[in-house]
């Protein structure tokens, strides 16, 4: 097993400055913020940025992993507070609202729910999918959700709801309406 060496103090400072600069730049310009600008804001060269983050996606994920973890934790809280079907809908609403409020997060969440053989391909995707699995399975056990729905389906559809709401007026005012339409389609029905 290879041993991971701790980061030198200067490298750690550069990493933290890059994350702060990236978070600010993504908030201002979305996921397409200039990586050169991020490096300049952090007071480092582009080479330093790429040593820590080999591509834009890695930087986006590092910048927003805390937000994703908060959303995942919120799923657990809602599962304890509400009946399973209601907890799922409340969580999906929070996912959609956060996706629109935090610029750059929508792109990350879109790639986070891309999967290869139903296995999320990013750390953020894994965290989100695990949170969704808990809520989806509970709603299915309760009979509030169709049995053929998978957690990744729900996450992809939530991403679509956020996108549709953004296209409608850009502020997320349609999220609740679109979620209610979505949930109606996902609801378990009595068999004929």
112-135: average pLDDT: 73
Instruction: Report which of residues 161 and 107 the model is more confident about.
Output: 161
In a domain, 171, yes or no: yes
The count of other CB atoms within 10 Å of the CB of residue 175 is 24
In a domain, 24, yes or no: yes
Least confident piece of the model among 11-20, 49-58, 153-162, 173-182: 173-182
Interacting residues of 105 by C-beta distance below 8 A, sequence separation 6+: 64, 67, 98, 99
In a domain, 4, yes or no: no
pTM of the model: 0.81
Q: Residue 132 belongs to a domain with what CATH number? A: 1.10.357.10
Shared domain for 127 and 75, answered yes or no, is yes
Instruction: Report which of residues 189 and 186 the model is more confident about.
Output: 186
Instruction: Check residue 105 and give its pLDDT.
Output: 81
What residues does 115 pair with on adjacent strands?
120
pLDDT exceeding 90 applies to what percent of the chain?
Answer: 46
Shared domain for 31 and 97, answered yes or no, is no
Shared domain for 84 and 118, answered yes or no, is yes
- Whether 4 has a pLDDT exceeding 60, the answer reads no
Residue 131: both structure tokens together: 């949170």
- Whether 120 has a pLDDT exceeding 80, the answer reads no
Residue 138: both structure tokens together: 């509970």
In a domain, 1, yes or no: no
Shared domain for 88 and 175, answered yes or no, is yes
What is the phi-psi region of residue 136: left when phi exceeds 0, alpha when psi lies from -120 to 50, beta otherwise? alpha
Least confident piece of the model among 124-128, 143-147, 159-163, 186-190: 186-190
Shared domain for 68 and 44, answered yes or no, is no
Shared domain for 15 and 100, answered yes or no, is no
Shared domain for 97 and 178, answered yes or no, is yes
Domain hosting 24: range is 9-54
Shared domain for 44 and 70, answered yes or no, is no
Shared domain for 31 and 93, answered yes or no, is no
* pLDDT tens per residue, range 22-62: 999 998 888 899 999 999 999 999 999 999 999 988 899 89
Instruction: Tally DSSP H helices, then E strands, for the chain.
Output: 9, 2
């Amino acid at each position: 097993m290879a041993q991971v060496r701790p980061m030198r103090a200067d490298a750690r400072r550069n990493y933290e400055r890059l994350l702060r600069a990236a978070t600010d730049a993504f908030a201002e310009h979305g996921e397409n913020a200039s990586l050169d600008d991020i490096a300049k804001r952090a007071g480092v060269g582009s080479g330093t940025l790429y040593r820590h983050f080999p591509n834009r996606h890695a930087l986006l994920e590092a910048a927003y992993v805390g937000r994703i973890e908060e959303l995942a934790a919120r799923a657990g809280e809602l599962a304890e507070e509400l009946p399973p079907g209601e907890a799922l809908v409340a969580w999906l609403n929070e996912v959609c609202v956060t996706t629109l409020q935090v610029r750059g997060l929508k792109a990350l969440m879109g790639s986070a729910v891309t999967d290869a053989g139903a296995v999320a391909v990013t750390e953020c995707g894994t965290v989100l999918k695990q949170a969704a699995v808990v809520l989806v399975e509970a709603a299915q056990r309760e009979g509030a959700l169709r049995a053929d729905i998978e957690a990744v389906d729900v996450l992809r559809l939530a991403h679509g709801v956020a996108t549709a709401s953004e296209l409608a007026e850009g502020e997320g005012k349609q999220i609740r309406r679109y979620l209610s339409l979505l949930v109606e389609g996902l609801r378990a029905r009595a068999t004929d």
